Amino acid sequence: MKIDSIQNGIVIDHLPAGSAMTVYRYLKLDECEGSVAILQNVQSGKHVRKDIIKLDGVTELDWDILGFLAPDCTVNVIRDSQIMEKRHMNLPEKLVDVIRCRNPRCITTVEPGLKHIFTLANRERAVYRCIYCESAGSRH
């Protein structure tokens, strides 16, 4: 298999095996103008298996969504075929319109257009709480 090198773009590396399509959907990569290459179940020295997403022609992503979905991934920003920046993702402190409140009595379920805002309540367990009703939400 041959995947060309990236001239200007982003490489999302060390995604948990099997998670690339979820990341693809949440980041809405089907709407991007550039090329997207998804490699799944790639052998890794750090993990047994991993997924990789290569984005050619894409220079910006929603870092909060990526940090929420894959807090241990590594992101390489490529310019002129050189790695210009290496980011190590972490769980974001706040999420806006990424997850939805499951509490049927929460104001977000009765007020259309109200943003679903969650703050990080427990980093070790990746638990977020709705700012309106404090119901828990998580990646899992």
| CA 112 vs CA 102, 109, 119: distances in Å | 15, 7, 20
For the cut 90, the answer to whether the pLDDT of residue 136 exceeds it is no
- CA nearest neighbour of 9 among 75, 59, 60: 59
The answer to whether the beta carbons of residues 8 and 79 sit under 8 Å apart is yes
What is the pLDDT of the chain when averaged over all its residues?
90
The answer to whether the beta carbons of residues 37 and 53 sit under 8 Å apart is yes
How do residues 81-119 score in pLDDT, each as one tens digit?
Answer: 999 999 999 999 999 999 989 899 999 988 988 999 999
Q: What CATH number has the domain bearing residue 114? A: 2.30.30
Q: Please state, as a whole number, how many other Cβ atoms lie within 10 Å of the Cβ of residue 14.
A: 18
Q: What CATH number has the domain bearing residue 80? A: 3.30.70.140
**Within this chain, do residues 133 and 104 fall inside the same structural domain, yes or no?**
yes
Give the integer Cα–Cα distance in Å for 29 and 47: 25
For the cut 70, the answer to whether the pLDDT of residue 139 exceeds it is no
Query: Domain range spanning residue 122?
Result: 94-138
Q: What is the DSSP letter of 47?
A: S
Q: How confident is the model at residue 60 (pLDDT cuts 50, 70, 90)?
A: confident
